[in-house]
Structures are given as C-alpha cells and as structure tokens.
Structure 1
Amino acid sequence: MAVTLVTSVASSSARFHLRSFSSSPSPLSSSFLRFQLPPRFRLALAVTPLYHSSRAMAHTLAQATLGLTQANSIDHPKVTFAAKDVDVTEWKGDILAVGVTEKDMAKDVNSKFQNPILSKLDAHLGGLLADVSSEEDFSGKPGQSTVLRLPGLGSKRVGLIGLGKSASSPSAFQSLGEAVAAAAKASQASSVAVVLASSESNESKLTSASAIASGTVLGLFEDSRYKSESKKPSLKSVDIIGFGTGPELEKKLKYAEDVSYGVIFGRELVNSPANVLTPAVLAEEASNLASMYSDVMTANILNEEQCKELKMGSYLAVAAASANPPRFIHLVYKPSSGPVKTKLALVGKGLTFDSGGYNIKTGPGCLIELMKFDMGGSAAVLGAAKAIGQIKPPGVEVHFIVAACENMISGTGMRPGDVLTASNGKTIEVNNTDAEGRLTLADALVYACNQGVDKVVDLATLTGACIVALGNSMAGIYTPSDELAKEVIAASERSGEKLWRMPMEESYWEMMKSGVADMVNTGGRAGGSITAALFLKQFVDEKVEWMHIDMAGPVWNEKKKAATGFGVATLVEWVQNNSSS
C-alpha cells in the first residue's frame, strides 16, 4: 500500500517562480506487481526489493509539493531613474522628497530656514513648511519623515526625510531611498523627485545617488508570492535632482539597479519555505541564471552519485537523512572578451532546511521555525551571480559554489559519534549533528580551491555564537589575510553592509581535536564562531586567500519577518573591485 501511494504521486510537479520541475513515475509500478504476482510474493517484494528504491520515490513525494503550495507570479517594481538639474520649485510630479540633516533644519530668530533650498521651498509655500516642521517637532533625526500635501509648487506633495546629524554613509542614503519608497506607496505616487538640502562633493554624489536608487528599489519590494492577495506598487519614475548629470552618474544608477535586483532575488530565495525551495529547486534556479546569462555564465549541477565520485563524504553525510536529494551547484562567470586577470570563488552554505539532525533543535531560541533561512549564504552567492551576470565585469572569473541539501532525521542519517571523510582526505568525528553547515562547506571549499582560484570568500548562517557576539545587524569575518580583509571591508563600506573582523585564535584549535579522527566538528560553547572558522580553514589550500563570513545575524529582519538579502551587495562590489573595469 505504501508503494502504491508513493507511485501515485510520483508525477506531481513543483513550482518556484511558476517554473515546473516534474518527476517521472517509477517504471516499476505497484499496479504491475499487484496483478502479475500471487499475494504472498507481492507482499515480499513490496517489503524487501522495493525498499531500496523507496527512498528515491520518496524524493519525488517531497519535492516542493508538500501542502500544495506554489509561488504566485509577481512583477518586480520597475522604476526609471533619471539625473536632472532643475529648480526644485518647478519640478512637476507627485512627491518632492527632501533629505535633510539636523543642521539643515536650523532656523533664524524669525523662525525662517537658514538652509537655502528649504528657505526657497518655504518661500513658495508661505512659511507653511517651517510651521509644520515646528508643530510636528521634525528635527531631521534619522527615521523621521513628514509628507505634506500643499499648494504652491509643481509637486503635489513635499516630504522632509531625516538623515541625522550628517549624511556620510551609503546606509543613510539607502534609508532615504527606502523612506521615499514608503511615502510613494502610502500616497500611491507614480513619480517622485529626490533632492538633498545640503550639497555634496562630486565623488560623494555618485555614491549617494546610487544608494538612494538602491534603497528605493528595495523599499518598494514586497514578497507577496505566498499571499492570496498582493498590491502592485504604483511608482514608475524617480528623478535625482542636484547630483549632476552625465554618463558616469547614469552608469552608477544602472549599477545600483542591477545590484538591487540581485538582492531581491536573494531575498526571494531565503523567504521561500522549505516545502517549496528544496535542494533540487535551488539548483534549478541556479541553472536558470546560467541560461539567462548564457553569454557569460555556465552551470554544472552535480547529483549525489557524482559527489560520491568526488569523495565528498562530509557533505553527503549531512544530506543522507533527507528525502530530498542533494544538489551540488557550480556556476562559472567568464567575461565574453578580454583576458582574465583574477579568479575568485564565492561559496555559500545551502541548507534549505536544518532540523538539527539527531541533535534536534529544541527549546526557546532554537529558531527551528526559521531554518528555511539556513541557505542564506547560498542566496547571497546566487543573488551576486544574478547581478554579476547583468553587470558583466571584465577581467575576472567567478565561481559560484553551493553544496545544497537538507539536514533531517531518519534511519539513514548521520549520528553523533560517526566519523566522516572529507574530499581532501581529512576525517571528522561528528559530536553534534546540528553543526552541519561546516560539514557541507568543508567539501565545497576543497572543490573551490581545486578550480584554481586566487581568492575564496564563503558565507554562511553558521553559528548562534556570532549572533551573541555581534547582534543581528552585523556579520563576523574571519581570515588569515590582512589584504583580503581590507578588500572585503572596503567593499562592505561602499555597499552599506556591516562587517566586523574577528580573531582567528589558533590556540582554540585544541578544543577541536578528536581521539579517533583528525578533528571534531564542534569545540563547545566558548568561542563557538571562532572554532567554526578554524574548522573551515582545514579545508582551504594554503596558497589561496580565504575569508569566512558568518552572517547568521543579519540574514533575517525580525521586525519585517523577512529576509534582508544580506551579502549580495558586498560580494558584487568586491568582484567589481577585482575586475579590470
């Protein structure tokens, strides 16, 4: 009966972004057995010979159809950005949004704005802007905003958006863009202009305009694929006023747009539930990227047997308990012309769900209900792949690598005390099945180094210890290379994402020694994020510059109950900086 049930659903299909991934029915059908053999033999065959194929058929059962959930098709907001030099009082549209610092809000003894732009606007409004800002106690602090519908200007509404004491970081201008998006959604505006009350240097203007554009696109995005109803944003155009004009600025705005859609793709991957986004579906999404950018990108997806041939015992042990088979994802970006000067690898942890295995996640704070985000590292890598395929940086080859699987519980799963052999020959005693991410990354890092790359960056939602150390808005980075640390930190500062370098304390390796194998996979609670990084280091070629990013904290926004897309922007910026452009 169990065989009949499995066979009957074997042709069900799974969808992600409304793309179908169908499985074929088993040729060994239960109906054939039922009508050709006597009952005694039918029972024996159902229990014994078919047992070995039941796991394969169970894969079909579990593939992204559980709960009959499929993602709705939604259109991402398409906003046109244009740099203009026009008088703010003459601009015509729905909302004129003015970014102001606390200093910009200073007034003279007559309660008039001292800032020239605010003074000019207020003169056309008969002093109403100054009056309202006083009545609402608007002082330009970060997070403050007020939008007024007032006559007297070409725009229907005027908004003041606080930037804090000074606006010097990309994250501040990205927040400005997000506030603009929020105001546009609230008033169903289709056209918006953004201007700063205080002017900036020409170099800063490029960065600021790019961050505003990025914030606007990301602020408009709402992942409603799994809701029965959704509202489409009405914003169509954003004019950037006072930032200059010309091809350089237009290129920056286009770059911001490309990166933002990579971030959105990463968010969608993390937001998707584990009954929809299985390892096979994640691999299909990667293959779709390669097809989309076929002029510069190729895909190689390895199945379980191919991974066995490569002796990936550490990775396959994690996947062994799941009904959903693992998929090892390898995308390669190569520029369509010109020489390659640098080869990079981006490796992302790809646990589409993590139960903890036999060390099952239990109790308050275990976050088992959020373990769909345990593939946040792979989402960052694939989001970066999407953006890089669009931007096409010259002179750099990039390998995007994900060992995708689920960490579940079954009679075929790894047990505490098991000894695993990784693809570089090193042995690992499993003392905690919930420290599975590093086991998958071990073989992924060996594979990455075998591609002949110069530098490797891996990203993973690896340890709760890193959240304890750095909180939810900052990722920890580990690397023996000071030069690589400078590169990636500089990229993060330009992207607005927060990283903090942590120590690679070699003396802590004593905690990772095993009595029966080369190492254990966890070293206890003390310094847990550090010992995890030291573990990963054992699988990196000494000739390759390597960095590990523990992004367990910033992968998820608890307030919004949604993925952040963390890591995409920094990775793209780092790749761009290693290119010859």
Structure 2
Amino acid sequence: MDFQLKTLTSSLAASEKADALVFLVPEGAVADNDALSVIAAAARLAGDFPDKAGKLLSLYHPVGIAAPRVVLASIGNGQPAQVRSAVIAAINAAKGVGTKRLAMVFAKAPEAGALHSAMLAAADASYVYTTTKSKPEPRTLRHVTLGVPDAASLAGAFAEANATISGIELAKEWGNRPANYCTPTMLADAAKELADLPRIKCEVLGPKEVAKLGMGSFAAVAQGSSEPLRFIVLQYSGGAKDEAPVVLVGKGITFDTGGVSLKPAAEMDEMKFDMCGAASVLGVFRTLGELKPAINVVGLIPSCENMNDGKALKPGDVVTSMSGQTIEVLNTDAEGRLILCDALTYAKRFKPAAVIDIATLTGACVVALGGVRSGLFSPDDVLAKALETAGEQSLDRCWRMPLDEEYAEGLKTHFADVANIAGRAGGAVTAAKFLQRFVDGFPWAHLDIAGSAWKSGAAKGSTGRPVGLLVSYLVSRVGMSIAATPAVAPRKAGRKARPGA
C-alpha cells in the first residue's frame, strides 16, 4: 500500500480527487461551515450519525464534494483505539465498492498516536495474501492519502507507521505461507535479503555449525525432518559500537506435527503458524532498516521442522543443551522451548542490554488470554513495564503473567537436570520457567504469542503481531516518540514477496 501525508483541512478535502473519501469526525458538535462539516453536523442533528466510534454514514455524490463516495466515520474521543475501530469499519465499507484510491481526512488535528493507529488499521483492513494463488486477486485499495490540518507536525508519526506497516506485512507474509513455501532454508534466505537494507548484516548457520556450538537440544528437534535446520543471526547496527544490543529471539518451527507426541489432525494445518515468532523478528528488522533508529539490535532465529521419521526425538530421550544442562523430553510437542533454550544461551555472547524471546509456545496461554493480549513473562520489573507500555502505545497489548518459583517444581525429573514439561496446570507459566533456566546474567522477557499471532476460522491468517509492540519498545529505548521519528521515504505500492524473498 502506498500512503501519502498531505495538509488538508475539511474545506480543502471537499475538492480532493479520490474514488472515495473517509471523513473522520470526533464526538461533539461539528461547527465548521465547509461542505463536509455541514453534512456531518446535519447528520448528527438528525440522529443518523452517532458519536460512537465505528459508526458510519455512507453518501453517494453529495453536493459540493469531488469524491463520488463519502463515508462519515465517527472516531469517538479520538484516542488511538477508537480511531482504529472507525478506520477498519470505513475501509471495509470502501473496499466493498472497489475503491483503489482513498482520501482519509481528519476533521480535527489528530494526535500522533491517532494518525499512527489510523494507518496501521487501514493497512490491516486492506491486506491480501496472494503468494500461493494461481490467479491472485490483488489488493483493491492501493493508495491512501491522509489529510490532516498540518502535515509537517505529524511527519514523524507518519514515518514510524509507514515503516512499522512494512514490518508487519513482512511478518504476515511469512506467517501465512504454507510450510512447503516456508522451509527453514527459505526463511534464512528471507533474512539474507534483509541485509540489503542499511545497517543490517545476516549470518546463517547450518547443522554442522550448530553441532559444533553444542546446540544439542535444537538439533534434536530437527533430527526427524529431511529439511535441514538453520540458525539465523541478524544484526542491526544503529548505535555506538560499544553499545549493548537488545536481542530478539524468535521461534522458527516452520511446521509442527508434534513429533512422536503427534497432534490431533483437526486444524493441524495451522501449525504452519508456529514460526510466527521468527516472522516477527524478520518484520522488526525490516522496520529497523527503513526507520534507522540509533540502537543496536540482534535477531536470533532457530528454525527447523518438528517431524516424524526413524530418527525423530522420542519421549523419554535426554538431550544436552548448549548451556550444558540436560533435558528429559517427556513430550516432543513441547519442542519450541527446546530450540529457544539454545538460542538464549547463544545470546549471552552479545552481552545484551536485554533479551526478548517471542514464541507461539503454549496452548495454555491461548486458554488464559485468548487472542486479545500476548502473554508477558519477565522477572525484571523495568523491562516488563517498558514492554507493557509499548504494547499500550502500539495497541499490540500484552499481559504480565507470574513467574513464582513454585511453578518450577513440576519440571523436576530423576533422569536429567530438567524435564521439558510439567503438568497441565499453569502450562504457559511452567514453559516460561523452563526458559528462565537459560537466561542468567541479563534482563529477559518471554512473549507467548500463541493466541495473538494468528486468527482461525473465516478470518484465518497471520496478524503480524507483536511487530508493533517490539518496534514501539525499541524506539522508546532511544527516546524516540512516535511524533519525533525522522522522516522515511514512503513505501512503494504493490511490493510482493517471493519464495525466499
């Protein structure tokens, strides 16, 4: 999608040429005398256009308006969450009539967060996956002009939103691909292409290098698949050379059968989404390459399939992690923590300022939080608070969960240093407690995105979360508010990712 930011008052918007015009109106009286404001005021007075966020009134060829179709959209109190609901409703209405060029105009000057929210909502509502369709239907809505009273004052918010959308859509693209279009090798090739962006380097390790590093836990998960594992190391260098980086670790299971502890057949196709943590790391690096913040970030992606053959990991097997700790594998479907633990150990070599792992880790987190918030686990109050704040600002919310030491009792075993599962109770917490064993010496947080990374049913598909949360967190570390982000050239329309892209 191509976005343009333009200075447009409500009076100037009446002459803006577009297939459709969305007029975003906050609650309260509409006092201006231009054509759009007069129509909105009359509709409010007649009771046809309520103040409630998301309420719409569609008009065809209204007098004095250049656009043939006009959608009045109420944004309630104008806060980002209410703007988001209004824009999604308006975009869905505009898509229904084949709109390609849309003008979206704020009746009153929005806050930076409201503009940011409007752009992400417009991109989300118009996103279309096409990669594996023989006759793909392209994105109908291709160009959005955002009209605000003073474009210069919101250039920073526009830039950050533009770059974040780029990252979210890359994460969606790879999350949505079927496993035969998203092997560990293909995922590694996608990471290599990110090295074409400024300040980004990529290194990819294969089975021999992983074995030499002593990543026995990661290698054990991969041994049942004919697809070779890949360990991806991305580095974005925007800060000083001696500045400690933030390390992002993304779970990259490109397909999860459960292994010998086989999953039920129903909805197993959705296990292509088990690499959404990895996809979110790729998305963040795409955004970093476009936004260029003054920070150092490392991305680590252990990627493999969890499959069955004669060499597959078996329940009861004991494996040795890179840290030297031995692990009894009581359930081969608890494989995500087995690949993450070695990546967390590897992260220590960067002497990180903070480490955040992102993983579709447990069904228990879905039961606890549904698809609204990601689960957040951290023993570090400062890091946890920063991530919670970033989630609220980006509307990509998380919820902090407990890490009491008593939860680790169920991971005890007679046959190794630790078991890879405990009982059913508190499964999301015990998974986090397992990972916590591998993070001594640096601030650490775990994001369980099993409920938030994708949607099922009629809306099945990747959400691109938590790219928004992570980007918001990273820019906040360098004192960049949404409104203070440096300008970035607009993204080109119609970019299509390819296998390995």
- Mapped to 2, the partners of 1:273 and 1:309 lie a distance apart of 31
Query: SS where residue 79 of structure 1 aligns?
Result: strand
Matching of residues 234-273 of structure 1 within 5 Å: 235=141, 237-246=143-152, 248-273=153-178
Offset, 1:339: 5.2
1:492, distance to aligned residue in structure 2 (A): 1.1
- Cα offset, 1:234, TM superposition: 5.2
* Counterpart position of 2:31: 116
Contact 2:203 2:234 in 1 (8 A): yes
Match of 1:97 in 2: 22
The alignment's TM-score, normalised by the length of structure 1, stands at 0.77
Root mean square deviation of aligned Cα: 2.3
Counterpart position of 2:98: 188
**Deviations 1:522-579, CA, capped at 9 Å, x for gaps:** 00100100000000001112x2100000000011122411110011111111111122
Q: Distance in 1 between matches of 2:64 and 2:102?
A: 14
Give ranges in structure 1 of 5+ residues lacking alignment. 1-76, 105-113
CA 1:357 to 1:196, structure 2 compared with 1: closer, same or farther past 3 Å?
same
Question: Residue by residue, what CA displacement relative to the aligned partner does 1:311-357 show, whole Å, maximum 9, x if unpaired?
Answer: 0011011000001010000000102x755534110000000000001
Q: Secondary structure at the match of 2:181?
A: coil
**Alpha carbons of 1:348 and 1:152: their partners in 2 closer, same or farther (altered >3 Å)?**
same
Q: Distance in 2 between matches of 1:461 and 1:433?
A: 15
Residues 330 and 401, structure 1, Cα contact 8 Å, conserved in 2:
yes
Q: 1:372 to 1:118 in 2, by over 3 A?
A: farther
SS of equivalent residue, structure 1 residue 548: strand
Which residue of the other structure, out of 329, 338, 343, is the alignment partner of 2:232? 329
SS at match of 1:93: coil
Q: Which residue of 2 aligns with 1:557?
A: 455
- Deviation of the 1:171 alpha carbon: 3.3
Q: Distance in 2 between matches of 1:211 and 1:259?
A: 11
Distance 1:301 1:373 in 2: 22
Residue identity matched to 1:373: F
Structure 2 residue matching 1:159: 3-state secondary structure: strand
1:571 aligns with 2:486: no
SS of the aligned residue for 1:361 comes to coil
* Residue 314 in structure 1 maps to residue 217 in structure 2: yes
What residue number does 2:492 align with?
A: none
Cα drift, residue 151 of structure 1: 2.7
Correspondence for 1:503: 402
Contact 1:124 1:152 in 2 (8 A): no
Counterparts of 2:25 and 2:10, CA distance in 1? 19
CA distance in 2, matches of 1:404, 1:339: 28
Amino acid at match of 1:158: V
**How far is the alpha carbon of 1:231 from its aligned partner?**
3.2
Q: Which has the higher contact order (CA 8 A, sep 6+)?
A: 2
**Deviation, structure 1 residue 305:** 0.6
Q: Label 1:284 to 1:305 Cα distance change in 2 as closer, same or farther (>3 A).
A: same
Which residues in structure 2 correspond to 1:69-218 (within 5 Å)?
77-87=1-11, 90-94=14-18, 95-100=20-25, 103-104=27-28, 114-117=29-32, 121=36, 123=38, 127=42, 134=48, 138-154=49-65, 155-164=67-76, 166-168=77-79, 170-197=80-107, 199=108, 205-218=111-124
**1:231 corresponds to:** 137
Go from structure 1 to structure 2 and tell me whether the alpha carbon gap of 1:89 and 1:383 turns closer, same or farther (over 3 Å shift): closer
The one-letter code of the counterpart of 1:369 is D
Q: Distance in 1 between matches of 2:32 and 2:386?
A: 38
Instruction: Spell out, residue by residue over 1:95-117, the C-alpha distance to the aligned partner (whole angstroms, 9 max, x if none).
Output: 3312345x44xxxxxxxxx4325
1:393 to 274, 293, 304: 293
Q: 1:124/1:357 Cα in 2 relative to 1: closer, same or farther (>3 Å)?
A: closer
Are residues 82 and 562 of structure 1, via their aligned partners in 2, closer, same or farther at CA, if it must alter by over 3 Å? same
Alignment match of 1:477 (pick from 356, 365, 376): 376
Partners of 1:389 and 1:177 in 2: CA distance? 28
Distance 2:436 2:43 in 1: 62
Match of 2:497 in 1: none
1:357 aligns with 2:259: yes
2:187 partner amino acid: L
Q: Answer yes or no: is 1:413 the counterpart of 2:312.
A: yes
Paired with 1:527 and 1:339, the residues of 2 have a C-alpha distance of 41
Equivalence for 1:220: 126
For 1:437-516, what aligned pairs fall within 5 Å after superposition? Answer: 437-516=336-415
Q: How many residue pairs end up in the alignment? A: 477
Deviation at 1:139, TM superposition (A): 2.8
Aligned with residue 289 of structure 1, among 186, 189, 194: 194
1:374 lines up with 2:289 in the alignment? no
Matching residue of 1:73:
none
TM-score (norm 2): 0.89
- 1:235 CA drift (Å): 4.2
For the pair shown, which has the larger CA radius of gyration, 1 or 2? 1
Please give the alpha-carbon distance, in whole angstroms, between the structure 1 residues aligned to 2:50 and 2:214. Answer: 62
Q: Tell me which residue corresponds to 2:496.
A: none
Contact 1:185 1:235 in 2 (8 A): yes
Amino acid at match of 2:329: V
